[in-house]
Amino acid sequence: MFDRMRLGWMFGLATAALLALAPAARAERKLYVVTTLTDLAAIAEAVGGDKVRVESIGKGTEDPHNVATRPSHVVKLNKADLFVRVGMELEPWSQPLADAARNAKILLGGPGYVDVSVGAEILEIPTTKYDRSMGDIHPYGNPHFWLDPLNGKVIAVNIAAGLKRIAPADADYFDQNLKRFCAQVDEKLPGWLKLMAPYKDVKVVTYHRSWPNFAHRFGLNIVNYVEPKPGVPPSPTHIVSLIAHMKAEDVKVIIQEPYFDLKVGKFVAEKTGAKLLVLSPSVGGEEGIRTYFDLFDRDLEKLVSAFKETGVRAASPTAEKTTGVR
C-alpha cells in the first residue's frame, strides 16, 4: 500500500516536472535545416547561429551532380523544417528524396523550401536550343554560382528569408547574422582580389565547368576543359587536341575537382609541362576547409602558389592595378 502510494506520488512529481519543462524545451528547440551541399550548410550555420541545427546530404568530397543518396536522407527530410537547395537542376537526386519524405512544407511552395539561386548572378545561360548530345548542359545556366563570394551573399539572403518564414519571432536575430555574414564577405573580398590581381587574364584549363563564376570574379581566363562536353569523359582524340591547344596557348595550370579521376589530368600535365592543381569547389572538400571563407582562402592560396611555381606571369599589362570588384 505504502509502495503504491509512494510510486504514485513520485510519478505525479515526475509528470509535473515534465510539464513544467515542456514549454522551455519547446522554446529551446532548434530549427532543423537540411541542405543539399556543404557550402549551403556552412552559410546556413552562419545565418542561423544557435537557433538552427544544420546537416548536409552531400559531402564536400562528392560530385554535387551525383550524390550517393540513402534511406536515412529521406528520414532527415521528413523531420526538416527547412530544405535548402542550389537549384537550377544541379541536384537531380534531391527531388526524389523530398517527394519520398512526405513533408509538404519543404516542397516547392512550402514555407520550408529554399532555392538559393534566386537573385544570383548566373553565367553560361544557353541562348540556343540544346539537347543531350551537348553533354550535361543546364537549361538555366551554370549552377556552380556559389564560387563567386558575391553570390554567397545572395545565398545567405535566401536562407535568411526561409528561416524568417518558419520562425518569424527570431527574424531580428537572423537579420543580424545575415548582416554580419555579408559584412565579412565585403571585408574579405578586397584581399582576395588583391591576391589575384597580378594574375589577371591568366589562361587555365579546368576539368569540369565548375569554375566560371570563380574565374569571372577573380579574373582567370578558362581556355579549355578536360571534358570535351560537360559530364562527358575525355576521348583520346579530345586529349590529343587539348594537349596541342595547351601548348599553343602556353597554359601552365590545370584545375581539377577532387572527385574526378586524376589519371587523364596527370597525363595531360605530363605531356604539356603544366601543373595539375586539385582545388575543392566545396566546403569540406579537404581538411581544414570548414567555412565558406576557408574555401576561398585555401583555393586562392593554392592557386597563387601554383602560378608562382610554374612561372606564370600576368597576361594583362594593367593587372597589377586591378583590385576592384567587377
Band of pLDDT at residue 106, cut at 50, 70 and 90: very high
Q: Which residues contact 259 (CB under 8 A, 6 or more apart)?
A: 61, 62, 63
Degrees to nearest 5, angle at CA 140 with 97 and 125: 150
Pick the CATH number of 192-321 from 3.90.580.10, 3.40.190.10, 3.10.20.30, 3.40.50.1980: 3.40.50.1980
Per-residue model confidence as pLDDT tens digits over 211-264: 999 999 999 999 999 999 988 999 999 999 999 999 999 999 999 999 999 999
Whether residue 7 has pLDDT greater than 80: no
Look at residues 314, 204, 217, 203 and name the one whose alpha carbon lies nearest to residue 265.
204
Check if 28-188 and 192-321 are the same fold.
yes
Whether residue 121 has pLDDT greater than 50: yes
Architecture of the domain defined by 28-188: 3-Layer(aba) Sandwich (3.40)
List residues bridging with 275 in a β-sheet: 253
Per-residue model confidence as pLDDT tens digits over 30-62: 999 999 999 999 999 999 999 999 999 999 999
Look at residues 313, 320, 292 and name the one whose alpha carbon lies nearest to residue 181.
292
Per-residue model confidence as pLDDT tens digits over 148-171: 999 999 999 999 999 999 999 999
In angstroms, rounded to a whole number, what is the distance separating the alpha carbons of residues 312 and 199? Answer: 8
Mean pLDDT within 67-72: 97
Q: Where are the domains of the chain?
A: 28-188, 192-321
pTM attached to this predicted model: 0.88
Per-residue model confidence as pLDDT tens digits over 269-319: 999 999 999 999 999 999 999 999 999 999 999 999 999 999 998 766 555
